[in-house]
Amino acid sequence: MEECLFCKIINGDIPCDKVYEDEYVLAFKDIHPVAKVHVLVVPKIHIKDYNEVNDNNILYISKVQNAIKEVAKICGIKDTGYRVISNTGKDGGQAVPHIHFHLIGGEALGEKII
């Protein structure tokens, strides 16, 4: 996906503040953090959103889920706790159409929707 911001970050065409990387996953600091720790964890293939998750790409989503605790550990929030959020589509408030997981923590977080 040539026009995708996160694909460009994955490809190295746009710089990021990298926190973690493996064959399937990239994690980097959000440019507009909403908490002391705010990292985006993304699969290294273009999947637009949850509606595009399928049997052919689920390995990448699994690897992202498995990496989150490692990213949390690197960020020093594994034991203090954190929240993982993924927005999908218009009503979900998704701004970047490459599925991603906000890992936030480092402080007591604000009011929960659920």
Minimum distance between the CB of residue 64 and Zn ion, rounded to whole angstroms?
13
Q: Are 47 and 100 in contact (CB under 8 A)?
A: no
Minimum distance between the CB of residue 19 and Zn ion, rounded to whole angstroms?
18
Binding at 113: pick from ligand AMP, Zn ion, none (beta carbon under 5-8 Å per type): none
Amino acid at 85: I
Question: Does residue 100 carry a catalytic annotation?
Answer: yes
Binding at 94: pick from ligand AMP, Zn ion, none (beta carbon under 5-8 Å per type): ligand AMP
Q: Which of 68, 61, 71 minimizes the C-alpha distance to 18? A: 71
Does the footprint of Zn ion cover residue 46 (CB under 5 A)? Answer: yes
* Residue 7 or 45 with smaller CB distance to ligand AMP: 7
Tokens of 69: 């605790």
Q: Which helix (H) or strand (E) holds 105?
A: strand 101-105
* Residue 6 or 20 with smaller CB distance to Zn ion: 6
Helix (H, G, I), strand (E, B) or coil at 41: strand
Helix (H, G, I), strand (E, B) or coil at 58: helix
By annotation, the residues acting in catalysis are 100
